[in-house]
Structure formats: C-alpha cells, structure tokens
Amino acid sequence: MYSVATESLIKQAREIKEDELQKFYGRVFKQLHAKDLGGDTVDSLQRLRLILSATKYTREIPSDLVTKLQTILCSSSCPEQLHVLSCSILREIFLSVSSLSNLSHDNRTISYVASVVLSQAGKKEHVLPLCHHLLKSLESRLSEGQISKHALSILSRIISVYPDILTDDQVNLVSRKMVDWLRYASMQQGASVSSGGFFSAPRTRQPAPLTEVDGVVTGDFFTVLCVGQSYTDDQWMNMYTFSMIRNWLLTYDTDGTSNAETDDRSEVDSSVMSMVSATSSSSRLLPPKERLREKAFEYCQRLIEQSDRKALKKTDTELQKACIVEAVSIMDIICGEDPSYVYRAFPCIKALYGRLNGDLAYTRALLPIAQFYLNHSETAAVDSEVVFRQLFGHCPAEQFNEPMLAFEFTQFCLLNASTLQTRVTGYRQSFPNLLKFLAWNSPGLISEFVELLPSLLAPDTAIELLHTILDLPCLAAALDLQHRSACYQTSWDQQGAKVAACLDAFRQPSHRGLFLYILRPEAGTGDTIDRLKMLHEILADMAEIPRVVRCAQVIPVLLHVYFNTVTQMADQKLMNQLMLVLLERSSLLYNIKKFNAEVQRVFSTHLQTLCKLYPPLIVDQSRELLDFASSPSNIYSKEDFYTHVVWVIGEYLSVSYDPRCSVELITSFFESLEAVLFEITQVRQSASPPSFSPRLITVLMTTLAKLATRSQDLIPRASLFLSKMRLFARSAPVIACYSEEDTEEIITRAHELINLLKLPNVAQFVLAPAAGVDGPRWHRDTNTSLPQSMRTVSTLLQRHSSLLPT
Amino acid sequence: MVVCFLIHTVSPVNALSAGESRILYARVFRPETGDARDFTPEQRRLMQKEKLHIVARQVQSAVTLSLEASGNPCPEAVLGEEAAALGEAECGVFSLGNAELFPDRSVVLWLSVQSLAFTLVCGPHENLLLAEGTIRNIARHCLEELRLLGPGTEMLLKSDRVDATLHRLLPHGQLLFLNHRFAFTLDKEIASYGSK
C-alpha cells in the first residue's frame, strides 16, 4: 500500500527547488492558455496540486496563474476535472479577500467556488457574498434544475460556523423552500432517457411510479426511502434537505423563543400554491418556522413507518437504521421546542420501541429512543422504566464488544448523567454492566469513564464499586474468555496454549459461580466474593494478553477519580469500610506486571487523605492496623503501602485526634513496631542485605519517636533502640546496599531523634503537635502565640534576674 | 457536519520510521477561524495542517491498540481483492475532548484497511450510523479507483478523484441519506469522472 515509491514522491514534492518550481509554474500557465486543454494539462495540474499540498508551509504561486485558475473555476464550459483540480489548488493557497468576492457565482460552478471560499474564510464577512448569492437563487422562482443541488449543503456549512449570518427573514425564506422540498416533491420517477437498444431511436419512457424499499408501489409523499430508477431534481433536493434538517433545526429552532405570528402568512400561501397536497388546511396558516416543524415531523413519522419494511438491498437496510436514528432525534428536537407534539409522537415512538426491542441489530437505534423517553416521558406521563431496564440490564452484557455501540452508549450516559442519576432507578446499580464496555476497550473509553464514574457512585454500592474497579482486569479477562467461547474461536493467536487452559477453566461447572459473579449485570448481590483469590489464580495465564494489560493501565486513574469523589460524600461508616478495603485488597490483586505497584501507590495517597479527613479511623481500625503493621511479610510484598501505614499511625494515633486513644493502645503499637524494626535491622554475620528502602527505616524510627512522646514512659526504650541504629547503618551488608547519603541520613535522623527525646516537651511540640498548630492563629493571636509566650518568659527572667543566683 | 476527511498511514510501514504517520490526502470542510483570533492566513494554514497530523497520530495509536487487543493477524489482500479487504476492515471511534483541536467536542471515526486508515472527524451530535456507511462507501471508491492495495503512487497523483468522490458523497462535509438508487447514480457519475 504505502510504498517506498510513494514516500519518495512526497519527498520530491517537498524538496523541489525554487527555480525548478518557477519554471514549472510557467509551463502550467502556458498549458492552461493553450486552445486544447488535454491530458498533459491535467497531469501538470495534478503535480502542482501535490507540490502545494505536500508541505505544511505555504508556497507562493504567481498571481497570473492564480487568476487563470480562478477563471477556469468559474467557467461553466470547462470539463469537470479541471474544475476539481483548480478548486483543490486554490484551496491550498491564499486568495485575497477581494478576489474571494470576485469569484463569479454561476449556478453550475457555485459548489466548487463555495469550496474555495469556505476554505479561505476566516471571518463572517468573507462568506457573505456567497451566502447572498445562494439566498437569491432560492428566492427567485427558478426551477429546481437551475438551483445548485448543493445549495442547502453549502448553506448548512455556513450556518454551522456562523449561525447569526442569516436574518429572520432569510431563515423564513429558506424554511419555506425546505418545506416545499421535504413535503411536496414529485411523486413519480424522473424521466429517464434510455437509448432503447441499437436499433431503436432514443425515446423517453413514461414516468414509472416510485416504490418503497421492499418493492411495493409507494402511496405517500416522497422520502429518502423511496426508490426509483432515476430521480427528478426536486426529489434530489428532498434528499439534500432531509440530510441537513437536523442541523437547521438545532441552529434556528431551539432558542426557545416562540415565533409570534408574522405577516409572512400571505407569502406562505402563495409559495405553496404550486404544489398542494392533502394536508390539513390549518397548517398552511402557520408561520414558516412552525410549518417546517410540522412537515419535518410528518416526514419523520413516515420514515419510521417505512423502516418497518424489509428492504431488498443491504444498503437500504443500513439506511433504514440511520433514518430511524435521525427521525427520532429530529422528533426529539421538535418535541423539545413544542410540547404539543409529544402526544402525537409518543404512540409512534412506543410502537417503534416495541418493534426494535430485542433485535440486537438495532440496539444502536434504541439510544435515541431512550433519549426521547428521558426528555419527554414526564410530559406525556408515560412509564419509561421498562426501556431503561432493558437498556442498562441487557445491552452492555450482550454487546460489549461492539465499538460503535459502546461509544454511543457511553456518550448517552455522559450526556444525561445527572438526569439518569435522579430519575432512572436502575442506573447506578448497573455499573457492573457499564464497566464491561470499559473493560473491553480501556484505551478508547477511559476519558469518557473518568467523567462518568462520579455519577455511578452511590453510598450503598460504593464499596462494591471499589472492588469492581480493582477487579476490572479480571472482568476484561473473563469477557475475553466469554467472547472466545461464544465465537468458538479456534484461531491460535500468540497466547494460544495459555488461553486454551483458561477457556477450559471457564467452562468448568465448579467455577461457574465465580464467573457468574464477575460477569454479573447489576450491583447489590454482595461487595465481593470469598473465593476471589481463586478467580485470580484461574485467570493467571490471561494476565499477559493485551486487552488485560491495557485495562490494568487505566485502573490507577479510575481509582483516583473514585477516591476523590467518595471522600466528598462518605460518612464515618463508609470511611471505615474504605480503610478496611485498602488494607485487605493491598494483598489481593490480580497479578499483572506493574499493576500491584501502581495500585499500591494510589492506595498510599488515599490512605493519607482518608486519615487526614477523619483521624479517628486509626483508633476505629486499630486492630486491623496493628495486625497489618506487625507482619514483616507486608514489608516485602508491599513496602510502599506499609510505609504509609506506619506513617499515618505515627501521625494520627494521639489523644488530640481521638479521645479514645489510650496509653495501652499507644504502647501496643509501639511494641509491635519496635519488634518489626528490631527484626529487620538485626545485625548478624549471615544477614542478607536489606531488601527494603532506607526510607522505611527512617519512617519507622520517626513513628516510634512520635509514639514515645505521647506516652513518655516509652522514651527510654525508644532512645535505647535508636542508639542501636548507628550500628545497623554501619554494618557491612547495609553499606554494600545503601548509598553513602542514605546511611548518613539514617544515622543523622537517629541522632536527631535521640536528642529531641531528651527534651520531652519540645519533642512533643515537634513530633506530635496538636491539630491546628500549623494554622496562623498560633502565630498571630497575641494571647496564645509562641512569640508572646517567649517574650513573657524572657521578661520574667530579666525582671527577676536579681533573684537568680549570681 | 463532518469537519474533515483524511487518508493516512497507520501500522508500521517499511518506508516510514515507527510512530510516524504520513497523510496521503486531507480535506478540511470547516473553515479555520483560528478561534476568532487574528492570525495571518499562513499561520492558519500551518495550524490546520498540524491539527490534522495530531488527529492522524491519535488514530494511529487507536488502530494499533485495537489490532493488538483483538489479536487478529492483518490479512494481506492484493489488488483485485478490495471487497475482501473492506470486509476485514476494522472500524472504531473516539472523542477528541473538549475543544482541543476543533471547536465543539468532535468525534473521530476511523476505518483501517491494512496499513491505511480513512478518518472522518465529525461534529458532536453526528449520526454515526450514517457516517459509518459513508466512510465505507468512500473507502470502497478510493480502494478501487486508486488501486490502493497495490504499491503504486496513484493515490498521490490522482487525488482529484478523491475530491470528485467527496464532492458527490460528502458535499461540503454533509452526510447524505442515500438509498441504493441515489448511490447508484452518484457512483455512475464518479466512475465517469475524468473520461471526457
């Protein structure tokens, strides 16, 4: 496909020398002025286009060449290829504003001219002439053949960038034309000129009737789902109009202002006289905007009926799906503007839902229907529970592997997150299902889920959600197995043998419960399972497949979002539960490379946050924390997290944070940590080098000192122990393992702590300050601040200096 | 409405260094307003080209991740097997984030055929079903008319064919609701393009 030849051609185009280029320009100019614009000219123009587009920097081309190209662009007698080429070349260079407006606006070339104008237009003023020309062509009573087919597409593009470019009158004008095309297009096929074979003269056949997509002769007005051998010009305009009507309505019909009756009414009558069909006479009296709404609504209803037919061609089946989505969306917009349409719309939408529900091929079309229900079911007092139960309960579980559906589903949730949270009862319970989309395609959907996750957090399912997030890679593995199992996939990809073993395990009845849990559709059956470790072991061989690895990579960010959200809503009970989960799951994680370390890092950060928010947690969970801190095995498997646990103990285990903190509690923590520190710093001949970082030593030492200042009986023990640290730091294995700076740091820190402990009150102030000491009040309030106290003391000492012994 | 259409390389290609994506064709439909600030036309053009490169690189990584996850080996179709190549083509979608590159939260739809990708950048509330059908149709035309499955350089020199195809199937970035007869008429016009 992309070959060396292609690459070298691009390089040549980029690196062409200036003088060669100028010669080339000259040659092109001459060729364009020749009488006969032949194949050579086309070749040259193609090369010129390549040279201009191959580089991101602008090239100047001579103005006479530019003028010639502009002439070609606007000349209706040139062959199409020259139009296309000159158009694409002019898009690559810069035209002055004046030359933009000079481009003549002939109907047959307007579309190409518009391409150039739109590519250059940096401001609204640049497109005004083009816009006016288009409006003029729509206004005059030209037959459709003389209006450019692309008129509406160009207009749609202009208003998508500059919506305020049209005045109200102009909006009405275009609305009227759109009504004509949408609703009053010809009902018969276009006249086709057939050659009639070799012997007979060309003759035009009688126009045949149009058919629906299933071949039945059509009986109602023309839509994009009507089939004919060839189409008339206004039927083409019907198609172009429908293609842009949603954009139009979104721009001009959703500002919420009601359109007061204007005196356009008489004009409405006359413009419609040409093509009258059997609609209610009252609609003819509506102002243009309302009339367009009415006709668009009828068009959409008809499309929905037409999409029930079984199309003969696959293209048409796909088009029917797209039409359903578009029609429902347009009806949604219209009902939003005028609630009186809701009562007309709902029977249609309900019937449509009944038809499509359960048909997996049409799930994507269910989303706009769900949006409609969300927006309007209250107005119509229609029950929407069933729709959402189906949507959240079944779709993700059955179709998690369809990338387009997953994306659209997630976008739907994101767009409506606040409404879904409050009005759809099953929404927050359905997170196990929704997360299946993320597990299957983590890199593609993570940014959406980062925003979506807070809406899925509810206090009663928060813990289950945390467990689910931690086991998301398991879910990815399980979904992969489920998918392979369902597809009878026997293709031997790179992990063939390992995956086969897991597949067998997946199919075993004894493991059914485990997999049923992990693949469950909704929350509420339990925070987690006892045999989680077993599930991890069964899936161990899947830990290296790309899907699982990518899933594991997004977990840290998801956890951060989770904790940042949950800490804002958590009460005491929930915080306790969260702490327990942190302690428990730090050793119960699916074994993927780097996953453990990353999750621990997140846990450490949020352990600190939780304790800072609610210091009594330490006393509440003292037993678990004591168990955790007393096992040296925790150091070897999760040093980072262990270090943080020790740190929070030192920081928050104090009477000033929790009155229940007794001397016995402090002593028991002290003794456990002392024992751990003793064990890991034993200086023996046969000792192996320490496998933990120096930071653990310093944190342990500091924590022990902190605890000692709070229960001052422990100070002698602490000092004794700290004095042994020098020996440890100077032992051979340690010197071999730690850097010079680290060993110095350990010794210095031990020394500082010993000295500090000699002055218990100062030590208390430094190591265990009361809460709020870092607040400004300590230093500013003249009654309580330290400087004041010091001043008082020194004054006292000075004043009574005569009393001091000389 | 569609903001732009790109054809660019994706998976590692012999002729390019790893991570590099070469854009073979780009057509931007939305005028570059430069966020209403005053830029010279040169600056605006440079900005536009660089934005397109960013999109191409993002699509490249999305395609790579998708292929890696599915574990399916990339079939090597040759000239004449366009329909098969399209049948095996992977399709994907992701959003570009809030107004990073283009105003509004744009959505990127890609279709990867072997080492090339066809990319559509759409506005936020686009009909993605229609967009998917359109991109497959355009890709089919490009594959067939420009002999993309072969090693030739028609893609670069005859890119006006792509212009003509887009002119009919995606005029000014407008997605069209084409039933098989409308499509057939446009296909005939595209096929007769260039023959005088």
Chain B nearest C-alpha distance from A329 (Å): 9
Residues comprising chain B, all counted = 196
Query: What does the alpha-carbon distance between residue A695 and residue A716 come to, in Å, rounded to a whole number?
Result: 24
Q: How far apart are CA B19 and CA B59, in angstroms?
A: 11
Residue pLDDT, tens place only, A207-232: 778 899 998 998 899 999 999 988 99
Which one of B45, B92, B128 has the shortest CB-CB distance to A444? B92
B50: chain A residues, CB-CB within 8 Å: 56
Instruction: Kindly state whether B111 is in contact with chain A, defined as any CB-CB distance less than 8 angstroms.
Output: no
Are A408 and B128 an interchain contact pair (Cβ–Cβ within 8 Å)? yes
Which residues, 6+ apart, have CB-to-CB distance to B52 below 8 Å? Answer: B4, B6, B23, B26, B28
Kindly report, residue by residue over B137-169, the tens digit of the pLDDT.
Answer: 999 999 988 888 877 788 888 899 999 999 999
The size of chain A, in residues, is: 806
If you average pLDDT over residues A340-353, what whole number do you get?
94
Q: How many CB atoms lie within 10 A of CB A705?
A: 27
* Tokens 């928060």 sit on residue: A462
> Taking a C-beta distance cutoff of 8 angstroms, is the pair A43, B153 a contact?
no
Window 152-191 of B: residues touching A by CB (8 A cutoff) are 152-153, 155-160, 163-164, 167, 171-183, 185
- Does residue A704 contact residue A677 with C-beta atoms inside 8 Å? yes
The more confidently predicted of residues A86 and A196 is A86
CB contact under 8 A, A2 and B116: yes
Contact B1 A156 (CB under 8 A): yes
Beta-carbon contacts of residue A755 (< 8 Å; ≥ 6 apart): none
Residues of B in contact with A123 (CB under 8 A): 33
Phi, psi of B6 (to 5 degrees): -130, 150
Residue A305 C-beta-side C-alpha neighbours within 13 Å: 15
How many angstroms away from the CA of A150 is the closest CA of chain B?
Answer: 7
> CA of B84, closest CA in chain A: separation in Å?
15
Rounded Cα gap, residues A57 and A47, in angstroms: 17
Q: Which amino acid is at A220?
A: D
| Lowest mean pLDDT, pick from A280-294, A482-496, A649-663, B87-101 | A482-496
Three-state SS for B116? strand
pLDDT at A275 over 60: no
Q: Cβ distance A723 to A754 under 8 Å?
A: yes
Q: What is the H or E stretch that residue B90 is in?
A: strand B90-95
The amino acid present at A472, given as its one-letter code, is L
Query: Which residue on chain A is closest to B31 by alpha carbon?
Result: A119
A142 pLDDT above the threshold of 90: no
Is A4 within 8 Å of B14 (Cβ atoms)? yes
Task: Note which residues in 46-105 of chain B have CB less than 8 A from chain A.
Answer: 46, 49-50, 61-62, 65-66, 68-69, 71-73, 91-95, 97
Q: How far is CA A509 from CA A230, A485, A512, A514, A700, in A?
A: 61, 14, 5, 10, 49
* Amino acid sitting at position A443: P
Q: Give the three-state DSSP class for B105.
A: coil
Torsional class of A181: left (φ above 0), alpha (ψ -120 to 50), beta (otherwise): alpha
What pLDDT, on a 0 to 100 scale, did the predictor assign at position B45?
A: 83
Tell me what ipTM this predicted complex has.
0.95
3-state class (DSSP) for residue B23: strand
Does the pLDDT value for residue A698 go beyond 70?
A: yes
Residue A89 near residue A62 (C-beta atoms within 8 A): no
| H or E element, residue A236 | helix A233-252
Closest partner CB to A9 (pick from B61, B133, B153): B153
Judge: A227–B181 Cβ closer than 8 Å, yes or no. yes
Residues of A with Cβ-Cβ distance to B187 under 8 angstroms? none
Task: Give the residue among B29, B139, B39 at the shortest CA–CA distance from B87.
Answer: B139
* CB-based contact A225:A176 (threshold 8 Å): no
The backbone torsions φ and ψ at residue A105, rounded to the nearest 5 degrees and listed phi first, read -110, 65
Residue B79: left if φ>0, alpha if ψ -120 to 50, beta else—which one?
Answer: beta
Q: Which residues of A touch B185 (CB under 8 A)?
A: 230-231
Residue A481 corresponds to which tokens in the numbers above? Answer: 């197995």
The highest-confidence range among A128-142, A259-273, A616-630, B63-77, by mean pLDDT, is A616-630
Q: How far apart are the first and last CA of chain B?
A: 32
Residues 9-48 of B with CB under 8 A from A: 9, 13-16, 22, 24, 26, 28-34, 39, 41-42, 44-46
Q: Alpha-carbon distance A49 to A43, whole Å?
A: 10
Place of tokens 């991109």: B135
Tell me the chain B residues in contact with residue A56 when contact means C-beta distances shorter than 8 Å. 45-46, 49-50
In this prediction, residue A261 has a pLDDT band, given cuts at 50, 70 and 90, of: very low
> Which helix (DSSP H) or strand (DSSP E) does residue A204 occupy?
strand A203-204
Q: Where are the beta strands (DSSP E) in A306-361?
A: none
* CB pair distance less than 8 Å for A407 and B175: no
**Tens digit of each residue's pLDDT (9 = 90 or more) over A44-97:** 999 999 998 888 888 888 888 888 888 888 888 888 899 999 999 988 887 776
Chain B residues in contact with A498 by the CB 8 A cut-off are none
pLDDT above 90 for A600:
yes
Chain A environment of B149 (Cβ under 8 Å): 1
* CA-to-CA separations, A756 to A278, A528, A766, in angstroms, rounded: 98, 47, 9
pLDDT band at A257 (very low <50, low <70, confident <90, very high): very low
CB A696 within 8 A of CB A642: yes
pLDDT digits (tens, 9 = 90+) for B84-110: 888 888 999 999 876 667 877 899 999
Q: Is the pLDDT of residue A636 over 90?
A: no
State the average pLDDT for chain A.
85
**Closest CA–CA distance from residue B46 to any residue of chain A (Å):** 6
Q: Tell me which of A410-424, A538-552, B8-22, B46-60 is least confident.
A: B8-22
Cα-based distances in Å from A715 to A700, A706, A729, A763: 15, 10, 22, 10
